[in-house]
Amino acid sequence: MKFPTTFTLKQISEIIQTEYVGDSDFPVLGMNEIHVVENGDIVFVDHPKYYDKALNSKATVILINKKVDYPEGKALLISDDPFRDFNTLTHYFSPFVASARMISNSAKIGRNTIIQPNVFIGNNVTIGDNCLIHANVSIYDNCVIGNGVTIHSGSVLGADAFYYKNRPEGFDKLLSGGRVVLKDNVDLGALCTIDRGVTGDTTIGEGTKLDNQVHVGHDTVIGKKCLIASQTGIAGCVIIEDEVTLWGQVGTNSGITIGKKAVIMGQTGVTKSVKGEMSYFGTPIEESREKLKQLAYIKKIPDIIKKLENK
């Protein structure tokens, strides 16, 4: 998430009421999670295990719960609760604004786009030309939809990320201030759910087609010309490269990469990153021919046991 204008380190510290370490005029351009941070961004870290990763990331401001040595050219914001203060910044720069009507006055809808009855379109949504949005679709604030996109009934774009911190009193939600971006000629089936990024974008690439009842988690990036079949669940922060096929009821771990032109057979659990241009099957995931051989060998075990017993 980029701020509307450049803020100083001191200004940010005043918003969240924290101490800072660095030049008071140090420029701050935005805020992001660790996997998408850029120069000028704030990243938060609240566990010593991840200090080095945050300090050595592309982020130039680290919201942290302890004074530590930090690389040249960076600055610190010292907080007793970085998770809370990251939420404070999200609320400050991307507050929830209630809608007063089914289609917001701030929405921009392109030429020849058809919006069927009972569609909700939130604030600052952009929809391109020649799209078809079927009845009872909900498109939350700030979503960006390209040209030639079809979205079937019951789909929801832009719901919050499933991201919580376990506290003694219950689960504390990390607020979502990101977007959903659909590129040109994307098709979404009925009852698809695409969560927005925490601070960045959840993106579905040009020409990709999703079947009914597909879920895409926060900050996931899906490439061009992918096919994703029904009841597939894609976790947050996944990278799916171009021309990947995911068959029905595939599930993925978060933070993995599926390589270009990979084929994931039905009911596979993608527990790790996999290379492109290969077919995979099973849980844990393996190359499909190898997995099918293993299953064939398992079927032979009763016969082997009988032969041993008859000796």
Please, which contacts does 265-272 make with residues 24 or more away whose CB atoms are closer than 8 Å? 266/229
Q: How far apart are CA 31 and CA 60, in angstroms?
A: 10
Burial 273-294 (b: 16+ CB within 10 A, else e): ebeeeeebbbeebbebeebeee
**Contact of 264 with 258, CB cutoff 8 Å:** yes
Catalytic residue among 134, 152, 215, 218: 218
What is the sign of the dihedral through the CA atoms of 300, 303, 304 and 305?
positive
Q: How far apart are CA 110 and CA 112, in angstroms?
A: 7
**260: three-class secondary structure by DSSP:** coil
Q: How far apart are CA 126 and CA 223, in angstroms?
A: 20
Q: How far apart are CA 268 and CA 234, in angstroms?
A: 12
State which H helix or E strand residue 10 sits in: helix 9-16
91 is catalytic: no
Q: How far apart are CA 122 and CA 139, in angstroms?
A: 6
State which H helix or E strand residue 8 sits in: strand 2-8
Q: How far is CA 306 from the centre of its chain?
A: 51
Residues classed as catalytic: 218
